[in-house]
Structure 1
Amino acid sequence: MSASKDIESTRDAGPRDTRQRILTAAVELFRRRGYTGTGMKQIAEAAGAPFGSIYHFFPGGKAQLGEEVVRTSGVVYLDLVAGLMTPYEDRVAATADVFIAAADTLRELDFADPCPIATVAMEVANTNEQLRQATSEVFGNWIEEIAAYYAAGGIPEPAARETASSVIALLEGAFMLGRAARSTEPVLAASRAAAAIVRAAAAGE
């Protein structure tokens, strides 16, 4: 469920290629080192781009680049989750499969942070309104889309939205616990809890 490969695959030649390399490098560095722990020179080096090119493509500096990382990654991650869920008619099984895939991703990344959005949100929610708003809107979009998927499966509103919000909270929290423990067990435990929440909502409990 890593977004960086999907973002990188959209690269074109020329100036757009340079811009995309900068964005891809920022995604990876924010994911591994955090927003505050990543410098603009590090991004330029990782992208193989001149330092000044970052400000050419992102004149608003690090905050603008961070916002684009959040919004671009948000779309990619939502597409990944939707791709896992939509083949299932059974919303419970679909939800469990997302968590199982997340556990696999966490292991493949050697327990590095798989989601730059949550990392940025936790770091700057109280200090950078531009990035707080971006992360809030991304999480809100996730909730709306997953709620619509649950509603299409028969879970009525507002339970569908509450269920989607709970599932996302479980997933992001499980990532944090899994990284700290260097174990997939928190994610797999959250999978069972999320499936139980969806099952209860579908039963009208």
Structure 2
Amino acid sequence: MTKPANKPAGAPEKTATVGTRERIVRTTSRLLQRQGYEGTGIKQISREAEATLGSVYHFFPGGKQELAAAAIRHGDEEFAVLLRAGLGSSADPGEAITTCTRMLADELRASGWQDGCPITTTALETVGRVPVIEQAVAEAFANWRAIVADWLLAAGIDAEDARELADTVLNTLEGAELSAQVARDEEPLLVSGRHLARLLATYR
């Protein structure tokens, strides 16, 4: 294909640029989820994303830290979509939370028990050491808590209780997902869903 006269030789087309960047971020998110920050290198990201090292550094001149932060934000968005879908599945909070844990269990099983929380491994490895990643992690958890709190408010729970319950719900889901991943068994998630449903029923 002939390049436009005003585009430097070798410069990617706009559509290719968008696709390549997204592919790099998605690949990095998956690798960080499965291998952690220390276990994931730029060369592996480049290879698995089918992108040149030059492309990786073109989009992320800050290198691995900048790319990892972008991958954390991608994981934040993916988990937010799942949370909203699960919590919005029923007008009854108990039914909605059990559906949410079922969805998490289904996703985890489908990945061969590899893809738990998209940010936990990287968060634990970099806490206190890589501020740009630590900030992205903090924003992800704040976003998830806000989603749960807004859902609880919409269900008729008052603001103070909704804030505290949002922490409880999110912490329970995170712990249950890790337990299910380690055990390679969905039961910890399903049990947590049932008990969260009972807890929520006491606030209605």
Which TM-score applies when normalising by structure 1? 0.88
Which residue of the partner structure matches residue 28 of structure 1?
A: 30
Shift of 1:93: 0.9
Q: What residue is the counterpart of 2:4 in the other structure?
A: none
Q: 1:76 aligns with which of 66, 69, 78?
A: 78
Which residue of the partner structure matches residue 118 of structure 2? 116
Quote how far apart the aligned CAs of 1:18 are. 1.2
Identity %: 36
CA distance in 2, matches of 1:197, 1:164: 12
Instruction: For residues 27-71 of structure 1, give each alpha carbon's deviation from its aligned partner in whole angstroms, at most 9, with x where no partner exists.
Output: 111111112110010000001111121111001111111111111
Matches within 5 A, 1:64-143: 64-143=66-145
* Secondary structure in structure 2 of the residue aligned to 1:13: helix
Return the match for 1:178 from 168, 171, 180: 180
2-structure distance, mates of 1:174, 1:67: 25
Supply the AA of the counterpart residue of 2:79.
Y
Q: Which residue is 1:38 aligned to?
A: 40
Q: Structure 2 stretches of 5 or more lacking a match?
A: 1-13
Q: 1:24 Cα shift?
A: 1.4
Counterparts of 1:110 and 1:181, CA distance in 2:
12
Gaps of 5+ in 1: 1-11
Instruction: Tell me how far 1:108 sits from its aligned partner.
Output: 0.9
Q: Does 1:169 align with 2:157?
A: no
**Larger gyration radius, structure 1 or structure 2:** 2
2:59 corresponds, among 57, 60, 85, to 57
What letter matches 2:157 in structure 1?
I
Aligned length: 191
Q: 1:163–1:197: 8 Å Cα contact kept in structure 2?
A: no
Map Cα deviations across residues 122-175 of structure 1 (whole Å, 9 max, x no partner).
Answer: 221132121111111111111112101111111112111111111111111111
Scaled by the length of structure 2, the TM-score of the pair is 0.88
**Deviant stretches of 4+, over 6 Å:** none
Q: Is the Cα contact below 8 Å between 2:79 and 2:118 reproduced in 1?
A: no
